[in-house]
Every structure is written in structure tokens, then in C-alpha cells.
Structure 1
Amino acid sequence: MTSPLDYFTAKLALETDASDVYAAQKAGDRFVLVDVRGDDAWAQGRIVGAVHLPHREIAARAESELDPAVPVVVYCWSPGCNGGARGALEFAKLGYTVKEMIGGYEYWIREGQPIENDEGQLPREFDPRVMVVRPQLTV
């Protein structure tokens, strides 16, 4: 039986969330963000700065396209999608340091983080159901 300490330590070593990924991007942390969704999803929209590598293609393409010394964070559509876990598994098989961004693209959007498509940056919209929107203070 796994203790709660062991379980949650392992869980946090292998998962991250949209807020932490955005903060890491802003801080300039060294990692590559990988969108493991298919071509149609990628074309519809993706996280600014992400690399497109569908989970079914990781085994064939990762080693020639991504530096195995750089940590990887993968994401798929949403909490209801296991593509991120599939992608993370493929990177782990290849020996990459990898985390899955829980919540996926859905929660990235809901938190109002930057997204783009082939035409450029898309509008940022914040979902008040997942974000605390604080009123601006006036001086």
C-alpha cells in the first residue's frame, strides 16, 4: 500500500497545471511544451509557444526533433482526454523527463492564458468559474 506522502509526492513530480505552466513560461524556465492532439485540434488553436507532436507520432519523431535533456510538458484537450497521459507515457519510454499538464487545453483557455492558431494570437477570455477575477484598484 502506498502512503499518502508517497502518492502525492509522485503525483506532483509527474503532473502540473495550466497556472504553473504559464508561470514557468513567464519565468523563462527551460522546458518544451508539447501539444499531443491531432492536426485538426492543432489548427483550431493551441498554446502560444507549444510544439505539435501528436501522441501517436512521438516514438517516431521525438528523438530527432526534441532534445532529450530538456524536460517536456504535454497536454491534450481536457480532463476528459487521456491523450496527455498517452503522450507522457511515450516520452517516458524514450527516457525524457516528462510531466502532464492536467486540465489540458480546456483549462488553459478557461484561465485566459495566451492561445493562437495559424492566423495569429486569439483573444484571451477568462472564465469566472475557474478564476478569481479581482476588480482593479483605483488610486
Structure 2
Amino acid sequence: MMSGVDTETLVDTWRRLLSGSGKSWVLFAHGTCVVLDEPAGDLAEQAKEILREYGPVHVTTAAGDFRVLELKNSEGWLVTGHHPDVVTFVPLDEPADPSHLAVGIHGRSKRHEDGTGLHVVHVEDAR
């Protein structure tokens, strides 16, 4: 399931969301962002290691849990999981059902795709 949002829009969205944080971050193809508290070396590789461990969904474990945060500007939601620095953006037009359960499951599935595909589309280096 590819995101209906293009990479440029995703990058702009994450730049706005993380503006002023001073954090480095890495964006993956389906909208999952890994924020790096302690950036070191190759940021894409560091983020891949985190997402390889914390991206794939394993139902009935902490990896299946999620929380949905509605963005104030009404552009969508953020779906968090069991790692505090791994967050997936879900735009308003995904999914068709805007309930928190549907959004959370959709965001979790996007995180799973990013965690198994590990396709980096952008690195923001704030070091």
C-alpha cells in the first residue's frame, strides 16, 4: 500500500512538524519518520537499524500497539508505536474511515511496510 502523498509533501509536512526541535530525522517511503536523539555516523543507516527493530508489526505484542494523535492544523494524524522516536504520518485522505481505530491500524500498517522495506526517501541532518 503506497502512500497517496508524494515525497516532497511528506518532507514538507515533517519539516513543519519538527520545526525548531533541532533534531535530525529520517523519512521512509510510507511516511514513517525516525527522529534521532543521538545522531551519529550515517543517519540513514542508524534510522534503518531502529526501524528494522521497531517498525514491523507483531500483533499481541507491544509492536502491535499504537496511539493516534490528531494534528491541530487538520492535515492528518500521527500514529505512534512502541518506540517514542518512530512516528508515522497519516494524511486526512487516508483511510476512508477517519475513526481513530481505522487511522491507527492504517498508520501501523504503513510503519510495518517501512520497517520491512526500509526505503529511505529523505535525511534531515541537524548536527
After TM superposition, the score normalised by the length of structure 2 is 0.31
Where is the helix percentage greater, Structure 1 or Structure 2? 1
Higher relative contact order (CA 8 A, sep 6+): 2
Where is the strand percentage greater, Structure 1 or Structure 2? 2
For the pair shown, the structure with the greater C-alpha radius of gyration is 1
